[in-house]
Amino acid sequence: MIKTLSIAAAALASVALASPSFAQSFSPSSGSVSGSGSVVLSQTTVVTCNVSITASPLSATSAPIPTRSITPGSALCFAVGPYGSWSAAVVPGSTTSISLTIGANTVANDPCYGTVVAAWNNATSTATFSNNVLPPVNAGGRSCTIRSGSIRIPGLQIL
């Protein structure tokens, strides 16, 4: 009888751990967070740009990023601007990745836009990019590569 109860308890515990209530989520799961950083973007040329964002309203698993700016870190970045609707989302099963839907209108006026998965560090609340490719918006257009860089979003964690 005790052995049967132990097996049943173990089975229930494994089901509970696999349930959606233990899925990844943002913390905080409401309100807004802001961050900034610098990225190296390439398409027809390589530019370094400063990026600032505010994600709001946060939910447990996603957040639109309605406030975003791209400013020069290098001279040619003055011609780069945000493109499309930006957002962030958790990556199911991971506390070390973040999914970002982002885009840029580039120096060549050839926009790129899509979803990339960047490395996430909870200890520093930082998304780090490494050769993340954004597809072209227009048929026959060129993709963009976020070669490197990071954006720190103080107070945001993925649990």
Return d(Cα 75, Cα 99) in angstroms, integer.
29
Q: What single letter denotes the amino acid at residue 132?
A: N
Q: What is the pLDDT of residue 22?
A: 57
Q: 83 and 103 in contact (C-beta within 8 Å)? A: yes
Residues 84-137 pLDDT 10s: 999 999 999 999 999 999 999 999 999 999 999 999 999 999 999 999 999 999
In the chain the domains, ranked by start, together with CATH numbers, are 24-158 (2.40.160)
27 and 159 Cβ atoms separated by less than 8 Å: yes
pLDDT at 67 over 80: yes
Judging by beta carbons within 10 Å of its beta carbon (0-12, 13-18, 19+), is residue 96 exposed, middle or buried? exposed
User: Average pLDDT, stretch 30-34?
Assistant: 96
